[in-house]
Structure 1
Amino acid sequence: MENKVYIRLRHRIQVRPNELIRLGDIAQVITQGIEQNFLCNMPLYQITIQDKTIVVIDIIEIIKKVKDFDPKLTIETFGPPQTLVEVVYEKKKYSVAFFVAIWFLLFVGAALTIMNFHEDVSMQQVHQKLYLLITGEEVKQPLLLQVPYSIGLGLGMILFFNHIFKKRINEEPSPLEVEMFNYQQDLDNYMVMNENKESMKKLDDH
């Protein structure tokens, strides 16, 4: 019976500094005629301080390693041709004062943005005219419209971002999450092209 190995690379994994990456860490492996656990524990790459935060492992490198292990193996690959390895260092702990300062800046910035937008579109005059059309009375502060509008603005932001603090309202991703996903995809593609030495070859390379 022919010995076969089916390899499907993961798109991205996270590792700790100085960690030894094994085949089972970056890929789903199915074997035929060979011990699967033994192959999954095969060392692939040793993370060092020179790697900084991103390492790209190409499928060609994996095939070479597997062939060195057993030249008679037939290898079939699926999925992405590279795996992005993100080296996660210990995060610095920030003080409560720093958190409060950042929260305050974001709150004031968002409030000023909303107020400037309403000033640009003359929202107060719009409410005054609507109140005049509905009630026939002219007032400077039509609270009957402004209060429900303010509450609806907050509820609309919650529905738009699909989160109440860390709790998700439903399974549908918010527009912000979709944009962050697209940004991460573009960033990963950039990393693959620039960090993978095999993806580009210059004229002076031999």
Structure 2
Amino acid sequence: MSDTLYINMNQCVEVTTDYVTIADVATLECKNKSVVNRLKPIKLLTDNSHGKNRYIVSIMKIFEIVDKEFQNVDVQSVGETDCVIEFKKANSDVKWLEFLKVAAICIILFFGAGFSIMSFNNDVSVGGMFEKVCKLLTGDKNTGKNLMELCYSLGMGVGILIFYNHFGPKKLSKDPTPIEVEMRKYEMDVNQTLITGHNRDDGKLDVK
């Protein structure tokens, strides 16, 4: 009686070592645990480019390994057919350097967002709009203008916090933030482009 091995391969993985194993790219499930334990540490490829190259591993490579290692194992793929592998160096232990990078990014984002908001307000003439509203309601274009500007500023700040679902290191809800959603979409698009380019023979990725 043969065992059934289920393989759920990821679309992309990042590893900090100079080699990648089956356990790094896929989740294995089988009633016969010896099959899973034997397959997990098997190396699929080794990186000799020091993290400069990306690689693509096909599910067929794992099928081939299973056929060589076992005689009576049926393989079922329930995940991706190709996996993009990127080798990266382990995170540096220099905490002050990481803090400096985060601080620099925050400063750039702060002034960039501030410039965008000021450009938008100047283009639509928010000040002139407030004057027209005050004149329409009170007959004086300056009466209540400062209060409207204060409420507008506070409302914009609160709206940004609610929209981005973040206040410092904490989330306001369990939902992913818009930035996280867009980053996942971008990551999926990049991976699909790499895989499609390889399948059309116009990519530059190495295949194992």
| TM bracket (short chain) | 0.7 to 0.9
TM-score scaled by length of structure 2: 0.80
1:149 aligns with 2:152: yes
1:138 aligns with 2:141: yes
Taking structure 1 as reference, are residues 97 and 85 closer, same or farther at Cα in structure 2, changes over 3 Å only?
A: closer
1:36 counterpart letter in structure 2? V
Taking structure 1 as reference, are residues 61 and 183 closer, same or farther at Cα in structure 2, changes over 3 Å only?
A: same
Taking structure 1 as reference, are residues 177 and 18 closer, same or farther at Cα in structure 2, changes over 3 Å only?
A: closer
| Partners of 1:31 and 1:138 in 2: CA distance | 75
1:43 counterpart letter in structure 2? I
May I ask how many residue pairs the two structures share in their alignment? Answer: 198
Structure 1 residue runs of 5 or longer lacking an equivalent are none
| Partners of 1:98 and 1:34 in 2: CA distance | 44
1:115 aligns with 2:114: no
Q: CA deviation at 1:118?
A: 0.8
In structure 2, what is the equivalent of residue 189 of structure 1?
192
In structure 1, what is the equivalent of residue 205 of structure 2?
none
| 3-state SS of paired residue (2:43) | strand
| 3-state SS of paired residue (1:119) | helix
| 3-state SS of paired residue (2:83) | strand
Q: CA deviation at 1:18?
A: 1.4
Q: CA deviation at 1:96?
A: 6.1
Q: CA deviation at 1:39?
A: 2.7
| 3-state SS of paired residue (1:35) | helix
Give percent identity, aligned residues only. Answer: 23
2:168 counterpart letter in structure 1? F
- In angstroms, what is the RMSD of aligned CA positions? 2.7
| Partners of 1:172 and 1:73 in 2: CA distance | 41
Equivalent pair of 1:3/1:34 in contact (CA under 8 Å)? no
Taking structure 1 as reference, are residues 131 and 179 closer, same or farther at Cα in structure 2, changes over 3 Å only?
A: same
Taking structure 1 as reference, are residues 97 and 110 closer, same or farther at Cα in structure 2, changes over 3 Å only?
A: same
Q: CA deviation at 1:91?
A: 4.6
Runs of 4+ displaced beyond 4 Å = 95-102
Q: CA deviation at 1:63?
A: 0.5
In structure 2, what is the equivalent of residue 63 of structure 1?
63
| Partners of 1:99 and 1:7 in 2: CA distance | 38
In structure 2, what is the equivalent of residue 31 of structure 1?
30
| Partners of 2:124 and 2:130 in 1: CA distance | 11
| Partners of 1:130 and 1:201 in 2: CA distance | 62
Which residue of 121, 125, 130 maps to 2:128? 125
- Comparing 181-190 with 148-157, greater Cα deviation is found at 181-190
Deviations 1:31-57 (A, max 9, x none): 245723433334132332326352221
Equivalent pair of 2:6/2:29 in contact (CA under 8 Å)? yes
In structure 2, what is the equivalent of residue 79 of structure 1?
79
Taking structure 1 as reference, are residues 14 and 79 closer, same or farther at Cα in structure 2, changes over 3 Å only?
A: same
2:115 counterpart letter in structure 1? L
| Partners of 1:25 and 1:140 in 2: CA distance | 66
In structure 1, what is the equivalent of residue 9 of structure 2?
9
Q: Counterparts of 1:158-173 in structure 2 under 5 Å?
A: 158-173=161-176
1:44 counterpart letter in structure 2? K
TM-score scaled by length of structure 1: 0.81
- Comparing 69-78 with 39-48, greater Cα deviation is found at 39-48
| Partners of 2:142 and 2:188 in 1: CA distance | 52
Equivalent pair of 1:23/1:39 in contact (CA under 8 Å)? no
Greater length-normalized contact order (CA 8 Å, ≥ 6 residues apart): 2
Equivalent pair of 2:22/2:43 in contact (CA under 8 Å)? yes
